[in-house]
Structure 1
Amino acid sequence: MLRKLLFILSAACLLAYNAQAQGCSEPASDEGVSVFGYLQAQYDYGFAEGDNTNTFGFNRSRIGVMGNIPYDFSYYVLVETSPFKKDGPKAYLLDAFITYKRFSFAKVSLGSFKSPFGQELGTPCHSLYTINRSKFVNELTAPDRDMGLMVLGGSDTTLIQYSVALMNGTGLLVKDADKYKDVVGRVLVQPFDWMHVGGSFRVGKATSQDETVTEPDERTRWGAEFEVEKYGFLVQGEYIWAEDKGSYLVGGGCGGDPELVQGSVEREGLSIMALYNLTYNFQPVIKYENYNSDLSLGNNNMEHITTVGFNYFFNEWTRLQVNYEYKAEWANEISNDMIMVQLQVRF
């Protein structure tokens, strides 16, 4: 694990954090309410064994409000309305937090928000360079949203940015039922305006859902990342190592429900992505990721996913994404590749 962490950090040094708070954007005015949101209409074509599938739907359909309250407070609320998320056709709360921001080096937020862990999870869903987040990010960062208290500081013009949060550890819209909490944090160092390197961590405990078990479940996460953006090129890399004792989560991701699995496991994932900003608002993109969902099985549990495609921007608010995902399972490859086309509008 340590060698892979050092590899990513070293690669960054040889080769810009897009500063985001825990929300998708920041209030623009000193007073009043700003309404914002985005809609992602999508077509998926899946290559299955002898029975290809295709469907139209909404990946995400979100609307929210945000604003500033004199003199040092802001608020942010975001709701998911897509009928294809979280148990069917119903709207539900994603984010809702209040921020005290008098000091830029130590802002404080309280409420429900994304866990401050990692590069892809920290990227707003409407700003992802590929339609899907990496599979290992979805699984190893779960729960991706939670209730808690966060302290954060810095910006894309400072050498260091950080965020650290005390969170329930139970996930979205789930009340904490025990005395334990998770501590989650992320630190970025930006020595140049075109490069940053960073690391993340998560440690926590929870009462086991198995009534015969007296010891609490434990989870530990470590992550490393880099980003280089220069001469029209953008290169990103991320690595996450995870250890769970007692039980662990599988699946989940942005707006999804992870599945709880009893048992202990070590997992890891790695991704690297590159794109180039061509003229005429066109971005070709390629991303490679691998994910080992059980390190005790060696490479027999390894999955490789390569995404190739492009982004085309009609204007500042409208984007077309086309992706092909080639999925290769190490031990027993199956036909499960995907073609995805997504049209996004922001407002």
Structure 2
Amino acid sequence: MKKIASLALAALALTSASAQENTPKLSVLSDIKFSGYVMSQYQYTGQDSKESNSFNIRMVRMALEGRLMKDFYWKVQLQVNGNTSDLGSSPRMVDAFAEWQKYEAFKIKAGQFKRPFTFENPMHPITQGFMGYSQNVSKLAGFSDRTGEHASNGRDIGVQIQGDLIKNAAGRNLLHYQVGVFNGQGTNHKDVDQRKDVIGGIWVSPVKGLRIGAFGWTGSAARKGTWDVTDANHNVVKNEDGSVKTHSGVRSLSKNRYAFSAEYAANDWTVRSEYIHSQGYGFTKSLTSGKETDCNVNYAAGDQADGFYALMIAPVISKKLYAKARYDLYRPRAEWGTSRTQYEIGANYWIGKSIMIGAEYARINDRSLAKPDYNMIDVEFDVKF
């Protein structure tokens, strides 16, 4: 897999170089850009019986993007760090899409890309500002999803329309909409149950830097394999000989979600908050290799989950040093007895526009643990190119 990723990047780079050299003759392909980033990390976790203290390469990505026949924007992005043991960390295709952008009010995107759900999901992991995306976005937007879907970095395969409407006197758009139809299986996977996910959002921008939005998502999580037959109370049904009765085929679990979001990002300040609610069961085991056939449902986890976060990134030295704080809550059963809360403070220091050093302390309260309180420390050195 590493060889395939390397060869793909080499081919893309050669294509980029060739296209740039022939720009005057080949007007069809233009504005080609090669970019990427590296995120290195040190993290300490003081959870009882699971203490850890390690350096880590959080993420390495490389991308090519450009324009085709002026009206089309395209992008291909690979994540190249990790190993081949599972889909979550092995070298893999992350983005591969094209978007028709002739009209500002109506654009069409097709391929593999970010799901149009929440403000935080589509943000760059460096400029997002913290040691990771918020818990509710991670669990309810397709990163490490509660349904058991393989890790997909908030992405899926599908088609989306979006646009900006209603300009004010200064020429700033006041309304944005986006809606897409997706397989519902995450990255690099075909549909399994022939049901599609429909995801959409709308937001208003009454003043510069402020946006207030709402999002909706309806669809399914599906898997092909075998599962234990259960009764109405989720008790396992047995055959006459005492063995567990099983069923094989495609199992599809309904999924319905909504989110409310608000963000102010202007004058070097960022203040953002989002609430997400999810309804629908998940599978007992998460997909890793993509070949699992265990379709049992995790009824014990319930069919409701929600989460809320609020954060602020404030300038200490403009464009260079920032203080940050985040309150991050996730309830895997939408009950306080299952809540996990992170209280985080830290700072980010930018060296130019391409290098960021981030440091963060977090106090964790996880009510599912016998000893719920522990500490985390995260330090990162991130480079964009």
Given the two structures, how large is their TM-score scaled by the length of structure 2?
0.74
Aligned AA for 2:98? I
**Is 1:217 equivalent to 2:253 in the alignment?**
yes
**Is 1:125 equivalent to 2:122 in the alignment?**
no
Aligned partner of 1:14 in structure 2 is none
Classify the secondary structure of the residue corresponding to 1:169: coil
Aligned partner of 2:219 in structure 1 is 204
Residue of structure 2 aligned with 1:150, choices 160, 184, 193: 160
Aligned positions, number? 311
CA deviations on 1:161-181 (whole Å, 9 max, x unpaired) are 121110000111111122200
Distance 1:51-1:267 versus aligned 2 partners, 3 A rule? closer
CA deviations on 1:249-307 (whole Å, 9 max, x unpaired) are 8989xxxxxx9853351011001001211216111000001111113xx3211111111
Aligned partner of 2:339 in structure 1 is 302
> 2 CA distance for matches of 1:135 and 1:335?
17
Distance 1:207-1:61 versus aligned 2 partners, 3 A rule? closer
What's the C-alpha RMSD, in Å, of the aligned pairs? 2.8
Aligned partner of 1:287 in structure 2 is 326
Larger radius of gyration: 2
Higher relative contact order at CA 8 Å, sep ≥6: structure 1 or structure 2? 1
> 2 CA distance for matches of 1:65 and 1:320?
25
Aligned AA for 2:42? Y
Q: Percent identity?
A: 22
CA deviations on 1:163-204 (whole Å, 9 max, x unpaired) are 111000011111112220000112111000031100111001
Aligned partner of 2:372 in structure 1 is 334
Distance 1:324-1:251 versus aligned 2 partners, 3 A rule? farther
Distance 1:84-1:124 versus aligned 2 partners, 3 A rule? farther
User: Do 2:197 and 2:220's aligned partners in 1 also have CA atoms closer than 8 Å?
Assistant: yes
Aligned AA for 2:162? L
Residue of structure 2 aligned with 1:312, choices 349, 371, 378: 349
> 1 CA distance for matches of 2:193 and 2:267?
51
Cα deviation for residue 216 of structure 1 reads 3.8
CA deviations on 1:17-72 (whole Å, 9 max, x unpaired) are xxxxxxxxxxxx97142101111011111213266421112111000100101131
Cα deviation for residue 234 of structure 1 reads 2.5
**Is 1:344 equivalent to 2:375 in the alignment?**
no
Aligned partner of 2:262 in structure 1 is 226
Structure 1 gaps of 5+ residues are 1-28, 253-258
Distance 1:214-1:77 versus aligned 2 partners, 3 A rule? closer
**Is 1:43 equivalent to 2:53 in the alignment?**
no
> 2 CA distance for matches of 1:250 and 1:233?
41
User: Do 2:48 and 2:371's aligned partners in 1 also have CA atoms closer than 8 Å?
Assistant: no
Distance 1:330-1:115 versus aligned 2 partners, 3 A rule? same
> 2 CA distance for matches of 1:86 and 1:152?
37
Q: Which moved more, 1:77-86 or 1:321-330?
A: 77-86
Classify the secondary structure of the residue corresponding to 2:104: coil
Given the two structures, how large is their TM-score scaled by the length of structure 1?
0.81
